[in-house]
Structure 1
Amino acid sequence: MKENVFNRNLLKFIKHSPTPFHAVAQMVEMLDGYGYVRLREGDAWKLEKMGRYYVTRNDSALIAFTAGGLDWPRSGIRMVGAHTDSPCLKVKPRPEMLRHSFLQLGVEVYGGALLNPWFDRDLSLAGRVTVLTAAGTIKNVLCDFGDPVAVIPSLAIHLDREANKDKSVNPQEELPPLLLQMDEDARSDLFFRDILLDRLKRADPTLDAVEVLDFEISLYDTHPPALAGLNRDFIVGARLDNLLSCYTGLAALLASSGKQPALLVCNDHEEVGSASTTGAQGTFLEALLTRILPAPEDRLRALDRSMMVSADAAHGIHPNYTGKYDGNHGPLLNRGPVVKINAGKRYATDSETAAVFRCVAHRLEIPVQDFVMRSDLACGSTIGPLTATRIGVRTVDAGVPIFAMHSIRETAGAHDGYHLFRVIHAFFQTEDLSAPA
């Protein structure tokens, strides 16, 4: 795959993945197109040599893998981990707020979001809706309004003269978006669930839903991701952390030969601690490994010969804020993927796993950068340490450097995603991790 094709498909994937549910649906469509067989946790499994499989959980997390020769205790498994969720604003269960003729929605902040960039954006709504059908059954339906249907207007500078000096955001009072203007007396009975049901039926007239029972709906920026810069040096868009890694890992898996057992896990809820059935602290990956390797000795032997790349975004050195970085460990955009290191094990990288990653990249003549947080700043974390702890697999934390992490729009280098794709693709097909070069 050439870089321009990779970037074009990446932008398309991000555009059509406004929520984890949509991201998994996109990945399922890609896997189906490559002949991967869907497994369901409630069914009996029978795996075949050279088989290609995937399984989802809660429609928001996914594991895809190639079985190779089924001799996992001898070959080990090459694993890549990413996460489908991103910081955002989620609609509350009873969100309706009618104030001065404006219908607004109450929202919660999901994850460590930068809040100021959410103001004055063309916002839409997307997520999963659980409905009651005419037959009395419960059904999950994906929902995406698509068009700009909401906005969070800023307060005019005339009413807040200090806004450019010290702007804090009260999420309860200042973040409810405007949805529409209406007559307070005539339309006081309008409910968000009615709006959802109407939108679902307009999108699919054959849908036999009679009631919205519940929903998981988020706001998102409708402006599509794009290549930017005079020389198109940058990718600018929402949810680069961490849909870029999800797409990169999946594209690398689909392009691999399948001879070497390889696995991609895309967890949900990383941005809020990963403590869920679909998060890295949950049982999703562990349950799958136990299922395909039921004998404890075989499973431990396979894990000893395995390794994971925890693929997540890294902090690129921002030219306007260079003092926020360790001078020797500030990655540059478009200078190659980044190995992330932390003495407190906020990242799972050790010298051995970093060496394997560097050797694979070196073989491809792709440079590798390092990131270490300043010693006087707190370090973030990833699914890497959680997965390593949960299943005991050697892990390296690596990814592409970006700006504005956790903003409504982030910036990455236009070449770095493709570089990471090539490294992961080669990693998936590396037979001997002790001699990856």
Structure 2
Amino acid sequence: MTRAFIDFLAQSPSAFHAAETVAARLQAEGFSLDDDAHAPGGHLVVRDGAVVAWWVPEHARPRFRVVGSHTDSPGLMAKPDPDVVREGFRQVAVEVYGGPILASWFDRDLTFAGRVVTADRTEHLVNTGPVARVPNLAIHLYRGDMPEIDRQVHTQPILGVDRPLLELAAESAGIAADDIVAHELITADAQRGEVIGDVLAAGRLDNLTSVWASMEAMLAAKDDAEDILVLAAFNHEEVGSASTAGAGGPLLERVLNRVAAEFGEPAEIIADSIQVSADAAHAVHPNYPGKHDPTHHPLLNKGPVLKVNANQRYASNAATETEWILACRAAGVPHQTFVGNNAVPCGSTIGPISSTRLGLPTVDVGVPLLSMHSARELCGLEDMDYFVRALAAFYAGAR
């Protein structure tokens, strides 16, 4: 399982790659590419770096079991005119995407990945391989602590070759650079995930841990399912989800409404359904334990984390929390709980967004991570196995 997950990460350097990788795997398992299907079997739709897949059992009950996640990760996005030459170096003009730990992107071998669109409106996936680096300033040139990072001035990567980024992107896609009309290209750490004892160090664990686990869980549970199973991996969560491919957009709603219409009143069916919002959770940091709630300390390799927030930054409530805990028990999986320290800001997920839009009862859960939003994060190997098993039990409706 670990090797398969590391391969998945390597195949998914951008949201667009992640969505296509999920789609390819599900199609190999018999799912059809069809955004208006409600017949028994597996179906899926891919849109702008998002993928929604659903499995309709032969004698399906009119109830959805949804696992929602997101395909995007923080990074440095190439600007529309990315070519810059400064002090003899060819560089890439970038815009900060989401909330990366900027210092972690320095002195790493970076690929640019994503999509380019040509004049015939064809989309091409791009992964340049390691071509760029954001160099640190040598310690001899400053005194004291490292100067504050200027997001505009200090984050522009240098290219390792004297060629424009779009020329490298075109070469990756097998097209001419002049054919590119527009692009969405983001940095990714070019190093593969590596196992360090019983933890995994890799980029984009937030939130490809959840995308991969939900895919594996759906495939494991589908043949014995009674409810309609749905995988929804959205784009743009890291920047607020307000897009046609984000959780605030219409993608999941359209699928649920079309399928539910075959069974009855869609709004009633959706209200009687349940969603797991699967996103990375914070493991307690051993060097900064004071940043965590003193009575809730999620640890690596101790099971998936239930995320609770009284101010609705997470969508969990007592009823949906119970469903998740019962699924973990049925799978024989330990579980933990994250609650924020009152003095520390709390992040959020797709959970409150999609549950509010759809009226879909939701619980927020995830694999515990260290270094969340770093170019390279840490998760427990056992937690990935636990998470797949718990999500499969949720899909199966285990109690």
Same fold (TM over 0.5): yes
Map of 1:243 onto structure 2: 208
Deviations 1:77-108 (A, max 9, x none): 11100000000100111122111211111101
How many angstroms does 1:359 deviate by?
1.2
Map of 2:121 onto structure 1: 138
SS at match of 1:95: strand
Residue 323 of structure 2 aligns with an amino acid whose one-letter code is: V
How many angstroms does 1:16 deviate by?
1.2
Match of 1:252 among 205, 214, 217: 217
Match of 1:331 among 298, 310, 321: 298
Q: Is the 8 A contact 1:338 1:371 kept in 2?
A: yes
SS at match of 1:397: strand
How many angstroms does 1:329 deviate by?
1.0
Map of 1:48 onto structure 2: 39
Deviations 1:100-126 (A, max 9, x none): 211111101100110001111111111
Q: Is the 8 A contact 2:92 2:157 kept in 1?
A: yes
Which has the larger Rg? 1
Map of 1:224 onto structure 2: 192
How many angstroms does 1:296 deviate by?
10
1:146-185 → structure 2 map (5 Å cutoff): 146=129, 148-164=130-146, 167-180=147-160
Residue 123 of structure 1 aligns with an amino acid whose one-letter code is: L
Q: Distance in 2 between matches of 1:143 and 1:419?
A: 33
How many angstroms does 1:138 deviate by?
2.0
Q: Distance in 2 between matches of 1:391 and 1:344?
A: 19
Q: Which consecutive unaligned segments of at least 5 residues does structure 2 have? A: none
Map of 2:15 onto structure 1: 20
Q: Structure 1 residues 61, 209: closer, same or farther in 2, change over 3 A?
A: same
SS at match of 2:8: helix
Q: Distance in 2 between matches of 1:358 and 1:20?
A: 30
Q: Distance in 2 between matches of 1:365 and 1:334?
A: 14
How many angstroms does 1:363 deviate by?
2.2
How many angstroms does 1:303 deviate by?
1.7
Residue 382 of structure 1 aligns with an amino acid whose one-letter code is: T
Quick check: 1:398 aligned with 2:387?
no
Deviations 1:291-341 (A, max 9, x none): 222379621332233111101110000111111101111101111111000
Q: Is the 8 A contact 2:277 2:365 kept in 1?
A: yes
How many angstroms does 1:210 deviate by?
5.4
Q: Distance in 2 between matches of 1:208 and 1:180?
A: 20
Map of 2:64 onto structure 1: 77
Q: Is the 8 A contact 2:83 2:165 kept in 1?
A: yes
SS at match of 1:301: helix
Q: Is the 8 A contact 1:117 1:407 kept in 2?
A: yes
Match of 2:111 among 124, 141, 166: 124
Q: Distance in 2 between matches of 1:333 and 1:112?
A: 23
1:201-350 → structure 2 map (5 Å cutoff): 201=174, 207=175, 211-228=179-196, 232-258=197-223, 259-260=225-226, 261-294=228-261, 298-350=265-317
Q: Distance in 2 between matches of 1:194 and 1:128?
A: 14
Q: Distance in 1 between matches of 2:47 and 2:168?
A: 28
Q: Structure 1 residues 353, 171: closer, same or farther in 2, change over 3 A?
A: same
Quick check: 1:66 aligned with 2:55?
yes
Q: Which consecutive unaligned segments of at least 5 residues does structure 1 have? A: 1-5, 183-189, 202-206, 431-435
How many angstroms does 1:368 deviate by?
1.1
SS at match of 1:173: coil
Map of 2:47 onto structure 1: 57
Q: Is the 8 A contact 1:280 1:387 kept in 2?
A: yes
Map of 2:77 onto structure 1: 90
Residue 212 of structure 1 aligns with an amino acid whose one-letter code is: I
Q: Is the 8 A contact 2:170 2:176 kept in 1?
A: no
Q: Structure 1 residues 425, 198: closer, same or farther in 2, change over 3 A?
A: closer
How many angstroms does 1:257 deviate by?
3.2
Scaled by the length of structure 1, what TM-score is found?
0.87
How many angstroms does 1:199 deviate by?
4.0
> How many residues get paired?
397
Q: Is the 8 A contact 1:102 1:181 kept in 2?
A: no
Q: Is the 8 A contact 1:105 1:178 kept in 2?
A: yes
Map of 2:4 onto structure 1: 9
Q: Is the 8 A contact 1:101 1:181 kept in 2?
A: no
Residue 278 of structure 2 aligns with an amino acid whose one-letter code is: A
SS at match of 2:329: helix
How many angstroms does 1:180 deviate by?
4.2
SS at match of 2:91: strand
Map of 1:200 onto structure 2: 173
CA RMSD of aligned residues (A): 1.8
How many angstroms does 1:209 deviate by?
7.9
